[in-house]
Structure 1
Amino acid sequence: MNLHLVQHVDDAITSRHSVRAFLHQAIEPQIIKDILTVASRAPSGTNTQPWKVYVVTGKKCDEMVERVCKAQLEIYAKPELAEQYQEAFAYYPEKWISPFIDRRRENGWGLYGLLNIQKGEKEKMAQQQLRNFQLFDAPVALYFTVNKAMGIGSKMDIAMMIQNVMIAAKARGLDTCPQAAWNHFHSIVLDVLNAPEDEELVCTVALGYADPEHIVNRFITPRIAVEEFAVFMDE
Structure 2
Amino acid sequence: MIEPLPSDRAANGLEAQVLAQLIAARRSCRGFLPQSVPRAVIETMLRTAQGAASWCNSQPWQVIVTEGDATNAFRDALYAHASQANWADQRERREEPDFPFPLRYVGVYKERQRETGWALYRSVGVVQGDREGSGRQVLENFRLFGAPHVMILTTEEDLGIYGAIDCGSYLANLMLTAQSLGLATIAQAALAGCADFVRDYFDIQANRKIVCAVSFGYEDPDHPANSFRTTRTDLSEVVRFIE
Q: TM-score, normalised by structure 1?
A: 0.93
**Aligned counterpart, 1:20:** 30
Distance 1:100 1:133 in 2: 25
2:119 aligned with 1:110, yes or no? yes
- Secondary structure of 2:85's match? helix
| Gaps in structure 2 of 5+ consecutive residues | 1-10
**Aligned counterpart, 1:206:** 215
Distance 1:81 1:122 in 2: 13
The aligned amino acid for 1:214 is H
> Which aligned runs of 4 or more in structure 1 are off by greater than 4 angstroms?
77-81
Distance 1:167 1:71 in 2: 31
2:82 aligned with 1:72, yes or no? yes
Aligned ranges 1:101-180 → 2 under 5 Å: 101-180=110-189
Greater mean alpha carbon deviation, residues 192-201 or residues 10-19: 192-201
| Gaps in structure 1 of 5+ consecutive residues | none
The aligned amino acid for 2:50 is S
2:218 aligned with 1:218, yes or no? no
User: How far apart are residue 77 of structure 1 and its match?
Assistant: 9.2
Distance 2:147 2:242 in 1: 44
Q: Would you say the 8 A contact 1:74–1:81 is kept in 2?
A: no
Report the aligned-residue RMSD: 1.7
Distance 1:119 1:110 in 2: 11
Distance 2:60 2:141 in 1: 26
Question: Alignment partner for residue 205 of structure 2, among 178, 189, 196?
Answer: 196
2:106 aligned with 1:97, yes or no? yes
User: How far apart are residue 76 of structure 1 and its match?
Assistant: 3.0
The aligned amino acid for 1:105 is R
Q: Would you say the 8 A contact 2:36–2:148 is kept in 1?
A: yes
**Cα separation, partners in 2 of 1:191 and 1:77, compared to 1, 3 Å:** closer
**Aligned counterpart, 1:45:** 55
The aligned amino acid for 1:33 is E
Distance 2:98 2:59 in 1: 21
2:68 aligned with 1:58, yes or no? yes
User: How far apart are residue 153 of structure 1 and its match?
Assistant: 0.8
Q: TM-score, normalised by structure 2?
A: 0.90
The aligned amino acid for 2:183 is L
Aligned residues: 232
Q: Would you say the 8 A contact 1:144–1:201 is kept in 2?
A: yes
Distance 1:102 1:78 in 2: 22
- Secondary structure of 2:214's match? strand
**Cα separation, partners in 2 of 1:77 and 1:212, compared to 1, 3 Å:** closer
User: How far apart are residue 78 of structure 1 and its match?
Assistant: 10
User: How far apart are residue 210 of structure 1 and its match?
Assistant: 0.4
